Amino acid sequence: MNSNFLKGTLEKHSRLICLAIIASIFTFNSSASAEQTWRTVEQLSAEDKELFDPTISVARDHQIPYLPAEKFPFSAPYTAEEMGYRSASAAHIARWSHSMADVFGVITSSGYLNQGEWACFIDNKTSGGMLGHMYDQPAGEELGRWMLYETFPPENNGAQQLWIPKRTDIETPQKLDFFYYSPSMRRVRRMPEPRRDQRFANNAQSLDDVMGRDPWEFEWELLGTDVIHESIRFPKTRQSVTVNDAERGFTEVQVSDIKMMGSDFPHYRSDGGVDTWVLKATARKDWLPDYNEDHLIVWVEKKTFFILRREKYAKDGHLMLIETRMAKQENPSMGDEGYAAFMSLYWNVDHDLLSYSFHDNHKVREWSEEEKTTIFTAEFMPREWLFEPMKSQLRVQSPDEFFLRPHRYLDRFPKHRSTSISPEIEARYKLQEAAQTLVFETD
């Protein structure tokens, strides 16, 4: 046997053994020193009990019986259902008219990295926010139009997608009209609606992850409260990012300065953590009879109800996906509903597949009638005209700069959460925690 090969193999195995030892020590020390941050409903503080209404059966709206009688955004104390409705305002795509650059990517368990970038133009046809989503349009009618213009990779430049979200109810379940334009084919094709609960090809997230879930399709339960100190985690190999601020332009930001709810959020704890409600949302079988997801566990910030973390569980109870998020106040005129997703990270646990999405250069817009009738139509797409460049520098440069798999919170709410994963991915996760960079199966 080649001596250099043998030497290299032994060195590699030695490194892995050292990392495994470090990982086991790291896991032991973390679990031993961590203080309990979570409380069940029975353990709620007196202050939280004043904000929570344990009533399950409440009065219903006279015109739309599946909605609560009290008008959104409700008032404290909140039922678990009302908390669920408040959290639904924090969709992946903000519920107001705007433009932005969507930078996204996916990395496989072997370290293969694939990325893209869209210029996104969003026309919201309702009055904005969850209130408009709930009441402004009857079932089956358009809620808005999203024109997505692909700018990266170069070979896809000019490809476009037109999404037309629709108001749903139990008798009108269609959620999306979807058109696609290919520059090579020079034609627009109407596409079938993707399955809402199936992840997109070569990605971790599903259609519902991107479009948002209608809260009336779920039954809501409050599990308790928790404190989140860290959501999306950058690796030690990436110390700064360059964001395209709508007012300041391109600005380099240290990742240590990026906070979960943005720099201006007034409700951080003294230790930098964020107080959250923890909700369980179970898919209603009469509304979603063939839905692949059985239930969600959702961590929502207490004041704004912005979703900072979401876990998806399959019908057999196993953990499917963990989503973590960061927010920014992008629309102050909407108050607590003005927080938008700045960054989202999805970890498909079954396949150890990670996807990210950055929303850069966010601009609140008020589209003119001329713009609405040109930019947001399928007939406009073959012109291949990018209405306004939406530039960004947030793409990941190499696999070793990709974001870490999310925290797993093994000890929290054990009666309601199954956190087990395969032994192979478990070992990979522990090595990641020790190295503070992603560890792949090829390592």
Domains in the chain: ranges and CATH: 35-435 (2.50.20.10)
281 in Cβ contact with 219 (< 8 Å): yes
pLDDT in tens, 87-131: 999 999 999 999 999 999 999 999 999 999 999 999 999 988 999
| Residue listed under structure tokens 């003294």 | 270
Is residue 424 within a helix (H) or strand (E), and if so which, with residue range?
helix 423-435
pLDDT of residue 91: 95
**Coil, strand, or helix at residue 215?**
helix
Chain-centroid distance of CA 368 in Å reads 30
pLDDT of residue 110: 94
Q: What's the farthest any 2 CA atoms get from each other in the chain?
A: 81
- Going by C-beta distance under 8 Å and a sequence separation of 6 or more, which residues neighbour residue 174? 140, 166, 168, 193
Among 235, 229, 228, 230, residue whose Cα is nearest residue 433? 235
**Residues for the chain: how many in total?**
443
Q: Assess whether pLDDT exceeds 80 at residue 30.
A: no
Q: Assess whether pLDDT exceeds 70 at residue 330.
A: yes
Q: 291 is written with which tokens? A: 């839905």
281: β partners: 220, 296
Q: Determine if the peptide bond prior to 173 is cis (ω within 30°).
A: no
Q: 402 is written with which tokens? A: 């990709």
176: β partners: 165
pLDDT in tens, 355-364: 999 999 999 9
- Tally Cβ neighbours within 10 Å of residue 404: 22
* Backbone region of residue 46 per phi and psi (left: phi > 0; alpha: psi in -120 to 50; beta: other values): alpha
Pairing of strands 307-314, 293-301: antiparallel
pLDDT in tens, 252-270: 999 999 999 999 999 999 9
Among 68, 102, 104, 105, residue whose Cα is nearest residue 88? 68
Among 405, 391, 397, residue whose Cα is nearest residue 102? 391
Measured over the CA atoms of residue 420, residue 424, residue 425 and residue 429, the dihedral's sign is: positive
pLDDT in tens, 214-242: 999 999 999 999 999 999 999 999 999 99
pLDDT of residue 442: 72
Q: Assess whether pLDDT exceeds 80 at residue 28.
A: no
The mean pLDDT value of the chain amounts to 91
Q: Rounded to two decimals, what is the model's pTM?
A: 0.91
pLDDT of residue 1: 46
CA atoms within 13 A on the CB side of 5: 2
pLDDT in tens, 130-144: 999 999 999 999 999
pLDDT of residue 34: 60
pLDDT of residue 247: 83
pLDDT in tens, 42-95: 999 999 999 999 998 899 999 999 999 999 999 999 999 999 999 999 999 999
Burial group, residue 155, by CB count within 10 angstroms (0-12, 13-18, 19+): exposed
| Residue listed under structure tokens 């817009």 | 365
Q: Assess whether pLDDT exceeds 60 at residue 248.
A: yes
Helices (H), 184-307: 207-211
Which of the pair, 280 or 24, is modelled with greater confidence? 280
- State mean pLDDT over 133-162: 96
